[in-house]
């Protein structure tokens, strides 16, 4: 079967390819990270305005963890999502995820708190996980002082951020959560799933080689690969809150999300799965050009609003 790109997705990919044409490879990770932040400027134009954006500093296990809180309205206390950005545990930033953050906050009415956590390889597993758990604990312990209702807290993330979000949820270090919202996450360490085999060459962006590179930087010795907090598909999932899952149709990580959905159902967890056809890994922050990103965020917002209605 021939895989077909969504027309909007194809246009967005062509735009990015033309933008980057002729650029030499980044000399190091610092340059790659900086290029990613710079490229976000185009995608971040025209995003919803927030009633308030607050910068906080949380005490982490090895130092301060910055947390930026996006509030769509002035009234409160607001239910809050802890949102963990992706980037293979190695690159990525909050600013590169503002299309998701601002759009989802505006459409759901939820505040979104986004940590800037330590990245590999400078800080390998479990540094990033520990920082994000510290941010979640801060929200649950002190969020009320900042107009946040952490009794209605969801944990969310994209890609490696989805891995960190699920790991935080199963870690036992956060109080009861209202839900999980996971976008095309890395939930296993098996690089030979059906979707890895189908899309390994990277013709639709993320390749098997790139994911192997990220895993090796996050876990350089390889001794944590069967740790459920690194590979949360191996974790005990019973007792998790209602979960909303999104997979990209043309993504090496698609099988991870399908496997997680099956495991959640088997564990008695209420899981909602949506596979968006014709889109590639990372599409959710391309809403300026990709209608599927906007529609998917509408689905996530609907899920969050349903949780608010379900709260006694």
48-77 pLDDT, tens digit per residue, is 999 999 999 999 999 999 999 999 999 889
Q: How many CB atoms lie within 10 A of CB 138?
A: 22
Query: Angle 164-224-198 (CA atoms, 0-180°, nearest 5)?
Result: 70
Dig out the tokens for 311 from the structure: 């709260």
Average pLDDT on 93-119 reads 98
Averaged pLDDT of the chain: 97
* 90 has a pLDDT exceeding 80: yes
* 259 has a pLDDT exceeding 60: yes
- The pLDDT of residue 74 is 93
- Cβ-proximal residues to 227 (8 Å cutoff; 6+ apart), any chain: 125, 234
Confidence tier at 2 by pLDDT (50, 70, 90): low
Q: Of 255, 261, 281, 296, which residue is the catalytic one?
A: 281
pLDDT tens digit sequence for 272-300: 999 999 999 999 999 999 999 999 999 99
Q: Can you give the residue ranges of every domain in the chain?
A: 7-19+49-310
Q: Evaluate the CA torsion angle 179, 181, 186, 188 in order and state its sign.
A: positive
- Cβ-proximal residues to 27 (8 Å cutoff; 6+ apart), any chain: none
The model carries a pTM of 0.97
- The pLDDT of residue 267 is 98
Average pLDDT on 103-117 reads 98
* 312 has a pLDDT exceeding 80: no
Confidence tier at 243 by pLDDT (50, 70, 90): very high
Q: What distance in Å separates the CA atoms of residue 269 and residue 264, rounded to the nearest whole number? A: 5
- The CATH number assigned to the domain with range 7-19+49-310 reads 3.40.50.1820
* 237 has a pLDDT exceeding 60: yes
Preceding peptide of 126 cis, ω within 30°: yes
Q: Of 195, 251, 255, 256, which residue is the catalytic one?
A: 251
Catalytic site residue 251? yes
- The pLDDT of residue 310 is 55
pLDDT tens digit sequence for 121-148: 999 999 999 999 999 999 999 999 999 9
Confidence tier at 3 by pLDDT (50, 70, 90): confident
Q: Of 108, 159, 195, 296, which residue is the catalytic one?
A: 159
- The pLDDT of residue 189 is 97
Pick left, alpha or beta for residue 158 (phi over 0 → left; psi -120 to 50 → alpha; otherwise beta): beta
């Amino acid at each position: 079967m021939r895989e077909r790109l969504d027309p909007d997705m194809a246009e967005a990919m062509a735009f990015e390819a033309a933008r980057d044409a002729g650029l030499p490879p980044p000399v190091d990770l610092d340059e790659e990270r900086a290029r990613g932040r710079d490229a976000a400027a185009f995608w971040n134009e025209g995003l919803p305005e927030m009633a308030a954006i607050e910068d906080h500093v949380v005490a982490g296990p090895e130092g301060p963890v910055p947390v930026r809180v996006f509030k769509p309205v002035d009234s409160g206390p607001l239910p809050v999502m802890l949102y963990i950005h992706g980037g293979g545990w190695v690159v990525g930033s909050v600013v590169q995820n503002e299309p998701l953050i601002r759009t989802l906050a505006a459409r759901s009415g939820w505040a979104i708190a986004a940590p800037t956590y330590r990245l590999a390889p400078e800080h390998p597993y479990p540094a990033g996980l520990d920082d994000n758990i510290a941010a979640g604990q801060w929200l649950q312990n002190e969020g009320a002082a900042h107009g946040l209702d952490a009794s209605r807290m969801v944990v969310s993330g994209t890609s490696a951020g989805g891995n960190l979000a699920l790991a935080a949820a199963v870690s036992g270090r956060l109080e009861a959560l209202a839900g999980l919202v996971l976008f095309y996450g890395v939930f296993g360490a098996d690089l030979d799933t059906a979707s890895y085999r189908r899309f390994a060459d990277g013709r639709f962006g993320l390749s098997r080689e790139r994911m192997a590179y990220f895993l090796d930087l996050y876990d350089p010795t390889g001794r944590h690969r069967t740790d459920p907090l690194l590979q949360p598909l191996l974790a005990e999932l019973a007792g998790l809150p209602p979960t909303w899952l999104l997979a990209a149709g043309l993504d090496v990580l698609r099988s991870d999300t399908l496997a997680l959905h099956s495991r959640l159902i088997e564990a008695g967890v209420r899981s909602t799965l949506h596979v968006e056809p014709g889109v590639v890994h990372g599409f959710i922050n391309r809403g300026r050009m990709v209608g599927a990103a906007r529609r998917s965020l509408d689905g996530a917002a609907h899920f969050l609003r349903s949780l608010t209605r379900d709260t006694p």
